Amino acid sequence: MPRAFTLLGLLALAGCGAGVGTPNAKPATKADAAHAADGEKLEGKLVVTGSSTCAPLVAEIGKRFEQRHPGVRVDVQTGGSSRGVADPQTGIADLGMASRALKEDEARLVQAHTLALDGICVILNKANPVTELGDAQVAAIYTGKIGTWNEVGGSEAAITVVNKAEGRSTLELFLRYFELKSANVKASVVIGDNEQGLKTVAGNPDAIGYVSVGAAESAARSGAPIKLLPMNGVAATVENIRNGSFPLARPLNLVTLPNPTGLKKAFIEFALSKEVHDLIREQSFVPVE
């Protein structure tokens, strides 16, 4: 009998004790005492929340930053660009991530720091004979005015329209470019992340979707049966995003309250520097030159 008690007790102890003993055990969401001046040691914790598109990249940047400054912890959380804009204001996060430009009313409250660029392109399954769609045709497909592929030069099959879930910046950007309203979009499938969009279109020869160019390019390179449609005659490539000719591009931003200081400022400077360009390219995005 005592043995079972001891076991439970140990479990409980392990549960409570581990948190108390360590020095880092602070439920801090604010960056603690940080000094950004040259030569001084950076210390504290940065909580970064927001866009799931940015999250893997910022997490990698955070790891490299932690290596440079062993006293710093960068915690990256996801949730979408809307949270990335809201959380720095409510204080839940020190920095936000948004994979879109700030809206006018947001720009009055927070400041955006562009760390990379990303483009959005329309993708089709490789088996689909259609090779180009005009802006008006894409808009007509997404509003349900065109329902089968033969209306745009394809097969008899009905079109499977893949749309993004509300709150995703890819959706907002796509809607603004094609001058669509969310309520008018007739979607067959609603998806969350880039990878999900790629998989849906790769698995369905009659599907049309839109995803990040970087993600689509690297998926196509690794053999996924998808093709990237040109936009307004401009091929959807990372190169065309960098030179600014691709029409549907978006910035990946770090979001802060105006004039960040201390640790936040140091991290932003690091994330915008050349030192992380290899990380940005690894995640299939385009560094800002």
Helices (H) and strands (E) in the chain, counts: 11, 10
CB of 153 to other proteins, least distance (A): 29
Nearer to other proteins, 138 or 198 (CB): 198
**Rounded to the nearest whole angstrom, what is the least distance from the CB of residue 27 to other proteins in the complex?**
5
- Nearest-angstrom CA–CA distance, 273 and 278: 11
Give one DSSP letter per residue of 147-177, joined into a string: -BGGGGTS-SSBPEEEEEPTT-HHHHHHHHH
Please state, in angstroms and rounded to a whole number, the distance separating the CA atoms of residues 99 and 120.
11
End-to-end C-alpha distance for the chain, whole angstroms? 69
Smallest separation (angstroms) from other proteins to the CB of 154: 26
Q: Is the CB of 256 or the CB of 283 nearer to other proteins?
A: 283
Q: Please, which residue, 124 or 216, has the CB nearer to other proteins?
A: 216
Q: Are strands 226-228 and 207-212 parallel, antiparallel or unpaired?
A: unpaired
Q: Which residues bind other proteins (CB under 8 A)?
A: 1, 4, 7-8, 11-12, 14-15, 18-19, 21-22, 24-29, 47, 52-53, 55-57, 59-60, 63, 66, 73, 75-79, 92, 192-196, 198, 215, 218-219, 222, 282-284
For the bound state, the minimum distance from the C-beta of residue 3 to other proteins, rounded and expressed in Å, comes to 9
CB of 278 to other proteins, least distance (A): 11
Tell me how far apart the alpha carbons of residues 248 and 267 are, in angstroms, rounded to a whole number.
28
Nearer to other proteins, 133 or 204 (CB): 204
Cβ 26 to other proteins, closest distance in Å? 7
CA angle, 227 as apex, 224 and 231 as ends, to 5°?
145
Q: Considering beta carbons, is residue 52 or 253 the nearer one to other proteins?
A: 52
Q: Do the beta carbons of residue 53 and residue 80 sit within 8 Å?
A: no
Select 16 or 37, whichever has its Cβ closest to other proteins. Answer: 16
d(CA 176, CA 146): 20
Q: Enumerate residues 6+ apart whose C-beta is below 8 A from 66.
A: 72, 73, 74
Q: Which is nearer to other proteins, 40 or 282 (CB)?
A: 282
Two tokens at 29? 């969401």
Please, what is the minimum distance in Å from the beta carbon of residue 11 to other proteins?
4
Q: Are 234 and 61 in contact (CB under 8 A)?
A: no
